[in-house]
Each structure stands twice: as structure tokens, then as C-alpha cells.
Structure 1
Amino acid sequence: MPTVLCIGGTRFIGRATVSEFLEHGYDVTLCNRGRHPNPFADNPHVEHVTCDRREDDQLQAVAEQVDPDIVVDLVAYHPRDVRVATDVFADVDAYVFVSSGAAYAAEDVPKREGATALESCTDAEAVDDTAATYGKRKAEGDRAVFEAAADGVRAMSVRPTIVYGPHDYTERLDYWLARIDAHDRIVVPGDGGSLHHLVFVEDVASALRIVAENGTAGEAYNVAGRHAPPLGELIELAAEALGADVTPTHAGARELTPDLEPDGFPLYRSRPHLLATEKLASLGWQSTPHAAALETTVEEHRRSDRDGSDRGPHRDVERDVLSRLD
């Protein structure tokens, strides 16, 4: 069987990625520090090697021990991570870096690979660990992929937008699911037209496999749902998946003042964030309709203890806004 090495692989996108490769006949090796539970511990087609990928000698030892056909790099958060990995795994059939839609600098609608400008990244930003430089570091990681491909490595980049689905530890969508499930009236910032493109986690996983198998070295591929529902429509779809009867109450900046601001709500964006996906679709990739993806997401959400309460306004503050609007 062909082998894939997942650097990371036990949480959210990584978990879905391992399942995707297993379903398509691969043996998988997880490479991580072992700090999170391994959901594949009992699967005979999944091995685990303990490695701190920031220690170059450890990563080199993994390359020699596993000798993978494909490497999917799920936890490269600094440009140096990508440069080291593309050197260590220079001879694999495919190296796929998980980048981000946050790598784009320009507010094009939609953002297109090779056309929309990427974020710049200084030497200081390249080693920073704060959220403020996340997109910059991912953009520099993309450039490291392009440089490696120019040197003969079959290296590629996949740029997901906001990802949702089972085991989402970011809890951005959990905030809305918990509110819709528990209350018959909720505050929605703006007029519901805020557009932050989303993608189902299983669709990201299939994109990583398809790019590894069919992508072109030195290319980046956006991944996002083929339909981009604005926030108001997303809430309607979520309510349907939950079987809930909820009344969204729209509130602009004036109605939210002084307690809240629109961007204090998860998945709100003042300008549309939309990624073009034709390039990935040309490789045979398809996305899951959001209604079907939300059914799966809701099922796991209800089994979890996630409510996203720290991701957005507390209910008592939201209740104050609702009372002012009555």
C-alpha cells in the first residue's frame, strides 16, 4: 500500500485527513509530539512516531524510518518549518503544505491563486507566534513551497478558508449552534449579509489527498465550499439541521453600542472573504453541500461539550441588546 506521513494528524483537519487517506487505501503514519489523544490508536493501518518537528534531527530520523510516499504537513506554522520539511522530504512523491486563505493580502472578491497578492512577511514576523502574523507566516510558507518546487521537489500548497465540522476545537460555529439550539431568539450582527467563506473539514481532507495525487508542483490551491452562504443563510441552514425554531434579530453597530461590535461575533466579516475554487475543482474535487455537512457537524456538536461561549458575546449581554430592540 502507498504510505502517507501526516505531520500532526490527531485533531480536527488532521483527523479528517487521516480518515480520508485510509478510506482511499493508504497506510498512514502520524508524526507528532503525542500531546493529544490518538483517535486511530487501534487502527492497524495507522502507525505513530513521536517527533518534535522543530527538531531537525528528529524529523530527519522520521523520514529515514518511515520513507513515506506522501507527506501532508498540517502543523507548519512558521516558514522555517516548511523549508526544513521540503528539504528533509525532498524525494517524496508529494509534499502538501496546509496554508490558509489568510495568506492573501488583497481584498479581492474572489481571491484567486496566482492573481491575488499574498501577505508580506518580515524576518521578525516569520518567527512570531501571535495571531496577528498568522496569515503572513502562511504566505511565507507558500513562498517556501514555490522555492522548493523550483528546486525539483513536488511540493504544493492548499489554502483553506474558515473550516468547520466535527471535532472543531476553534468553536467558531459551535457558538452559533449552541445559541440556536438553546434560544428562540438570537442577535445576528448586521443585516445577515456578512460573507465569510466556509469549508467542511472533510472537503479539506479530500482536497489534500487530491492535490497530493494530481496537483502540480509549485502550485497553490484554494479550498472552500462551492456555495458561499452569508451569515444569515448559514444560521437558517444550521437551524434546519438542529431542528430548531429560532428568530434572528438583526442589529447594526448603532444597536449593538455600547456593549458590542459586529466583529465581536464569530464568522462575522465587514468585507466579503471569498475564495475562488475552480483550480481545485479542475482536479476532480467536489464540495459537500452545506446542508449535508451541517447534519454531520450538528450530530458531533451535540455529543461534545463545546458551546463556543468564549468565542462571542455572553448571553446576558446579548439579552440586553434584544431588550433594547423590543
Structure 2
Amino acid sequence: MVERLHARGDEVLVVSRGRSVPDPWVPVRQLWADRHDLAEHADKIRAFAPEAVLDSCALTGAAVDAVLPVLPEVPTVVLSSQDVYQAFAGLGSGRCEAPLPLTEESEPRVQRYPHRGSGLPDVPEDYDKLDVEERWRPRGATVLRLPLIYGPHDWQRREDAVLRRLRAGCRRIPIGAGNLLWTRGHVDDIATGVLAALDTRAADGRTFNLGETETWPVSTWFTQIIEAAGAEAELVRVPDTALPPDLTLTAAPAQHLLVSVARAQAVLGWAPGTPAEGVARSVRWHLDNPPDGPAWTDADTAADDAALARA
């Protein structure tokens, strides 16, 4: 998003802790600060005089409370998540919690703090995008609920469950039912949607789902990854209970997470690309930029072999 804003001539001030800055990167102003300490830099914010704000990483209500007194009341876009829907709770509860497709009016999640006690790295115990939305909404902010995002620089490396096996020379990959429908979005398409929301005053104060308009089951997504990598590998159906931990996403779900992006298309004039194109671009980048550290171990081989033995 910063690259897009800079390319079109906007003057950008990036507020960041500075822990993960791309190198090389576009020449923009940078303010090194934790958002909870932004009040200490109020003079720099006033001097920059922003005409718009993009809050891309608010994870908790406290994280919003820390910046609201410092930021001016200008058009604002806030990145939220589709985990605010009750349907998301169904992924963990093993029950069907909501009808599909999900729209912006679908039932919000009843339980708060969905990752409390999970031990996920860099996820606060009080993480909840519902708190974030509630804090920003009185300011007239535009809320964008994002899907499962993939593409270049994805720190979660969502395709790597397949790619790490292809790198290791695996030709048989165990999967479960593989029928989960979970709306995804290529990072480039999401960036286009964010900029459209920044530029569209008819979007102010409203909530939008972003994501691809086509959603293939996880098994087909895995097949697209294999084809984009130019590899030959077979997806082998095994019992869900036999799946290695990094393939549990392929187990049979009780709840799908399929969203409608019709509002974003109508109001923002937004048109995401097709999944096959997005996966191909993403896979090319991840093949050229493998993760650091050991990609495959003897324990991984043993886990796959044990699963495949139960095919």
C-alpha cells in the first residue's frame, strides 16, 4: 500500500516500530515509534498534517485508544478481519455457526478475544478486531474486513504447507477432505481495495468485506499451487485424524468462511483478480524467496509417511 501511494505521488509518513522494514524500499518519511507511544510524537504528526489516515495494524482496543487523541479527524481506513463474524468461531467449535455467504450485516462473533491462550507469536491476549472497529467507528472510519491474505512477503507463508514438500522432493502429499471454503485475497488486490476506500468519500463510515469473488476448496487451491510450481505431486486422501499438524486446514469443516464482496464492488468500483492468476504470482515469489532455516526434517518425513500409510 505504501508503494502504491508513493508511486501515484502521495506524500507518505509511515509510523512503524522498525522491526520489519523491506530493503530496499520506497523513499518515504518514516517515524520510528510504537503506536502506544505516539502521543510523544504528537508534534511530528501535526507538522506532517495528514489529509488521510490508514491504520493497518490495530490489534486491540487499547491500540486504538493510544492513537485517537493524536491523529486528526480526517478520512480514515482501518484494516479489520473477517474473524469478527460468528462463522469464524465455527472453525474452532466444530459447529456450523452461521449461514453463507457472509455479508457485512452477518452476525458478529459472540465470544471475545478469539486467540486468548493460544500462544500465537505476536498476537496479544486481548486481540480482538471487534474492539478495534468499535473504537474507530465513531470517528467515521471506513472499516475493511480482510480475508485470508496470500502473496509476496506473506510472513505466514500460507502456500508453504505445499511448497515445503515440493522443495523436499515429496511426490505424495496427504490431505483430508480438502473441502473447506475460505475466502482468500491476493495482497495486490487487497492493496487496490484499500486505496479505493481511501479515495472514495461514499465509503466513509461504512464497512466492507474484501476478498476474491471466486473461492475454490482447499484441495483445489493446493492443486493450483502444485501446478504453478511446475511440479508433479499427488494429493492423497487420508483420514482427518492422521493429518500432520500443518495440513489440518484440509480436514472436513463444520463451518465454511465464505464472504460476499458485492458491496465493495458496487461502492468502491473494486474488481479483484482471479485466484489462479493470484496463486501463480504468489508461488513464483515464494519459490524465489524460500524461508530461512531448515525447510524439511526427518520428523516431517515420518509424519507424512505415517499419514500416507493410512490412506
- Which category of TM-score, normalised to the shorter sequence, fits these structures? 0.7 to 0.9
Q: In 1, Cα distance between the equivalents of 2:204 and 2:211?
A: 21
Residues 309 and 225 (structure 1), Cα distance of their counterparts in 2 relative to 1, 3 Å cut: farther
After TM superposition, give the deviation of residue 77 of structure 1 in Å: 0.9
Asked whether the 8 Å contact 1:121–1:137 carries over to 2, the reply is yes
Q: Does 1:88 align with 2:70?
A: yes
Residue 164 (str. 1) matches residue 150 (str. 2): yes
Amino acid at match of 1:265: T
Say if 2:56 is the partner of 1:74.
yes
Match of 2:300 among 309, 314, 326: 314
- TM-score of the pair, normalised by structure 2: 0.83
The residue that corresponds to 2:248 in the other structure is 265
Q: Which of 222, 225, 247 is 2:234 aligned to? A: 247
Corresponding residue SS for 1:99: strand
Paired amino acid for 1:105: Q
For structure 2, list consecutive stretches of 5 or more residues without a partner in the other structure: 88-97
Shift of 1:89: 2.2
Say yes or no: does 1:34 pair with 2:18.
yes
Q: Which AA in structure 2 matches 1:140? A: D
Q: CA deviation at 1:30?
A: 1.3
Matched, 1:278 2:262: yes
Q: Quote the Cα distance in structure 1 between the aligned partners of 2:156 and 2:23.
A: 18
CA shift at 1:128, angstroms?
Answer: 9.0
**1:4 equivalent in structure 2:** none
- Separation in 2 of the partners of 1:60 and 1:189? 52
Q: Which moved more, 1:52-61 or 1:231-240?
A: 52-61
Q: In the alignment, is residue 213 of structure 1 matched against residue 195 of structure 2?
A: no
2:84 paired residue among 85, 103, 106: 103
Contact 1:195 1:269 in 2 (8 A): no
Tell me the SS of whatever aligns to 2:144: strand
The AA in structure 2 aligned to 1:277 is V
Change (3 A) 1:269 1:300: farther
Deviation of 1:274 (Å): 0.9
Using the TM superposition, give the Cα deviation of residue 62 of structure 1 relative to its aligned residue in structure 2, in angstroms. 3.7
Q: 1:208 Cα shift? A: 1.1
TM-score, reference length from structure 1: 0.79
Describe the superposition over 1:145-191 as per-residue Cα deviations: whole angstroms up to 9, x where unpaired.
Answer: 22222xxxxx111111111001111122222222245321101112x
Which ranges of structure 1 fall in alignment gaps of 5 or more residues? 1-16, 150-154
Q: Which amino acid aligns with 1:174?
A: D
| Aligned twin of 1:235 | 222
Q: Secondary structure at the match of 1:163?
A: strand
**Percent identity between the two aligned chains:** 22
When residues 199 and 47 of structure 1 are mapped into structure 2, their CA distance, relative to the original with a 3 A threshold, is: same
Residue 12 of structure 2 aligns to a residue whose secondary structure is strand
Number of equivalences:
292
Q: C-alpha root-mean-square deviation of aligned residues, in Å? A: 3.0
Any idea what SS the aligned residue of 1:88 has?
A: coil
Distance (whole Å) between structure 2 residues aligned to residue 226 and residue 218 of structure 1: 23
Deviations 1:28-66 (A, max 9, x none): 22111212234354x34x111111111141352342132
User: Are 2:31 and 1:49 aligned?
Assistant: yes
Query: Contact conserved, 1:224 with 1:277, CA < 8 A, in 2?
Result: yes
1:117 maps to what in 2?
108
